[in-house]
Amino acid sequence: MSLRSPNAAIVAEIEAALQSGSNQKRVSTLMRVTDLFVNAADRYSDEEAKLFDDVMGHLIQHVESRALVELARRLGPVANAPREVIGTLARHDEIAISGPVLAVSERLSEADLVEIAGSKSQAHLAKIAVRARLNEAVTDVLVDRGDDHVANTVAGNSGARFSNTGMTKLVMRAEGNDRLTETMMRRADISPQLFRQLTIQATEAVREKLLSSSRPEQKETIQRIMDELAAQVGRAPPKERNYFEAQQAIAGISQDTSLMKSKILEFADANRLAEVIAALAVLSGLAIKEIDTLVKNSNELGLTVVCKAVALEMDTAYAVVEAAHAEQNTPGAQVFDDFCDYYDKLSVAAAQKLLRFWQGRKKVAACFAGGRA
């Protein structure tokens, strides 16, 4: 055994501490072993670190939380900290113990972080969200399970990487949330399609604030959309759609999916949005009212996701979005190349997940609204 490792005398001390029944003695021994490791951690081999793992792992089962808080604080930043001990501390329900490890420990694998983020409290998720590096598998869970604080924290983390689905979910969550909208619009890795959606759904106050600090190309986008929105003032709203007639128009083809999809392109090109919405409702299983809301709110992203979820061709999806903007007198859809880039990267399976995510958030929002009423 290396002279730097726990020697026979310390092992004997550990056994005596465990048998004595004295918490003070056990804590004192744990701190001595911790000192021995931390003071020379960079010189220990994996085998020696494993020995410390065994010793500490035995001791931490018999000490109070206060000692574990100190242990987590000291071991969290150590690159080769005892792996099993780190795993135990990271999964502890008390955030004062798990927090220092979750935030910085390099000993936690992607699988560890995904598991913890998928099962522990919002406080645990918030600690994970500040880590210097986060990959897509972890951020996907944080976005799905995290509350608004977690979502904003991970969105503001420049070291976090997001899947296309995860980034889209954050944009969906940002609707009606000025803080998250502003945080997302400052990300350097956001696609033109999603940045545009954020700008459209942002409040005027957020747009004005970002005009003074965004990158030049983003400023141009924000200013253009603000100008287009301002030009809408005073325009007459579109007339109410007649869905009874629209449903009758598609009734004869509702069982022929391929024909229905081709008819959607015809309807969109002819600006017959009632028929477009009725057909999308049949294909997606959504209520007409839900799709109608996306159109009325000029929710380009939402309509894009619906179109992808039912596997419409790219040209058809673009025509749907353009028709919606034309009826609502809102800024025209993203330039075709940018739209195509986003639509091509979005899989049908991912779009269907996004659709369920959006519906779930709408239900939660409705419940809260009902509770306030």
pLDDT digits (tens, 9 = 90+) for 311-349: 999 999 999 999 988 877 665 555 677 888 889 999 999
Sheet strands (E) in 313-368: none
At 235, is the pLDDT very low, low, confident or very high (cuts 50, 70, 90)?
low
pLDDT > 90 fraction of the chain, expressed in percent and rounded: 56
Stretch among 115-119, 234-238, 252-256 having the lowest mean pLDDT: 234-238
> According to the model, what pLDDT value does residue 143 have?
97
To which residue do tokens 């709408």 refer? 362
Concatenated DSSP letters of 293-322: HHHHTT-HHHHHHHHHHTT--HHHHHHHHH
Query: What contacts 24+ positions apart, CB below 8 Å, involve 24-31?
Result: 26/59, 26/62, 26/63, 27/63, 27/64, 27/67, 29/59, 30/56, 30/59, 30/60, 30/63, 30/67, 30/71, 31/67, 31/70
Mean pLDDT of 94-104: 98
Mean pLDDT of 354-371: 70
> According to the model, what pLDDT value does residue 3 have?
39
- pLDDT tens figures, 290-319: 999 888 877 889 999 999 999 999 999 999
Q: Enter the pTM of the model.
A: 0.83
- Rounded Cα distance between 283 and 259, Å, is 11
Instruction: Provide the token pair at 122.
Output: 């919002």
The more confidently predicted of residues 140 and 231 is 140
Report which of 277, 304, 302 is spatially closest to residue 361, judged by C-alpha positions: 302
Instruction: Provide the token pair at 297.
Output: 């709110």
- Rounded Cα distance between 8 and 29, Å, is 14
- Element (DSSP H or E) covering residue 149: helix 148-155
